[in-house]
Amino acid sequence: MQVLVRDNNVDQAMKALKKKLQREGVFREMKLRNFYEKPSEKRAREKAEAIRRARKLARKRAQREAGIGRK
């Protein structure tokens, strides 16, 4: 991962780096790896995350379809 520092503005570069790391899920991964997670808990968590993602996608798709229908 690479972030350019322009005009010696390190604060702006740090902000951009943090945003990229957040988007990639690095902070979340670090938090999860801090403690041991049982395989059964990991499966349950991943299944719940998948369900959450599917619902979010369906909700966005429904909003998009409803928005197109109005125009």
Whether residue 41 is found in the same domain as residue 71 = yes
Q: What percent of the chain has pLDDT over 90?
A: 86
Whether residue 24 is found in the same domain as residue 42 = no
Q: How many domains does the chain have?
A: 2
pTM: 0.61
Whether residue 44 is found in the same domain as residue 63 = yes
Tell me the CA end-to-end span of the chain in Å, nearest whole number: 41
For residue range 17-46, list pLDDT tens digits in order. Answer: 999 999 999 999 999 999 999 999 999 999
Domain that holds residue 18: 1-35
Whether residue 31 is found in the same domain as residue 46 = no
Whether residue 46 is found in the same domain as residue 71 = yes
What is the pLDDT confidence band of residue 66, given thresholds at 50, 70 and 90? confident
Look up residue 35 and give its DSSP letter. Answer: S
Whole-number average pLDDT of the chain: 92
Whether residue 50 is found in the same domain as residue 26 = no
